[in-house]
Amino acid sequence: MTASDSALGALWRRAWTAARWGTHCGRCGCPLDAGAAVWLDPIRLDGRLVACAPICATCAQPMGRYDLRRWPSPLPCEGCGRPVHYGGGRRYRVRCSTRCAWTVANRRRSQAAAAAAAARRTACTVCGTVFEPSRADRCYCSPACKQRAYRQRHGLVTDP
């Protein structure tokens, strides 16, 4: 293993870690502040895309394609709210790191599960209590209401 191989390995590790967690710059490795704007940079090694890692403003300025006046205004990351600059066209999913992408996916999954649970809620046919049925065809909230409905159907009820 040569010195250049170890340097490439260190750069790859830094870029991968930055893309995964979003806590450090993918170029220089300096820590990124939680509210500081970041630029998403496609980091390539030997022509292959290694990661799309967030980089700091210090690393973004000296690069020719990162003329900071030319970039569109940053969009907030969906996961953490950090301002994110993209070089390309419109981005519909703005995430600064893989961690934020998983945070957004988990949040959407939880919201969908809560909405599905709310849609399943129904009212008991005897007492009117709203409950979440364990089966699709369940219409009584408890065994007592089920028994009361049976007695009403068969005329065994003495009190109104």
The pLDDT-based confidence of 151 (bands split at 50, 70, 90) is very high
Write down the mean pLDDT value for the chain. 83
Strand boundaries in 15-149, DSSP class E: 38-45, 48-55, 75-76, 83-85, 122-123, 130-131
Q: Which long-range contacts (CB under 8 A, 24 or more apart) does 100-108 make?
A: 100/22, 103/79, 104/78, 104/79
Q: Label the pairing between strands 75-76 and 38-45.
A: unpaired
The residue whose two tokens read 């999954």 is 109
Q: What is the pLDDT of residues 33-71, one digit of tens each?
A: 888 888 887 777 777 777 788 888 888 776 555 555 566
From 48-57, 111-120, 133-142, the region with the lowest mean pLDDT: 48-57
Classify 125 as helix, strand or coil: coil
Q: Label the pairing between strands 48-55 and 75-76.
A: unpaired
Prediction pTM value: 0.66
User: Do 40 and 85 touch, CB atoms closer than 8 A?
Assistant: yes
Please state the domain extents for the chain: 3-101, 121-160
The pLDDT-based confidence of 100 (bands split at 50, 70, 90) is very high
Task: Give dist(CA 45, CA 42) in Å, integer.
Answer: 10
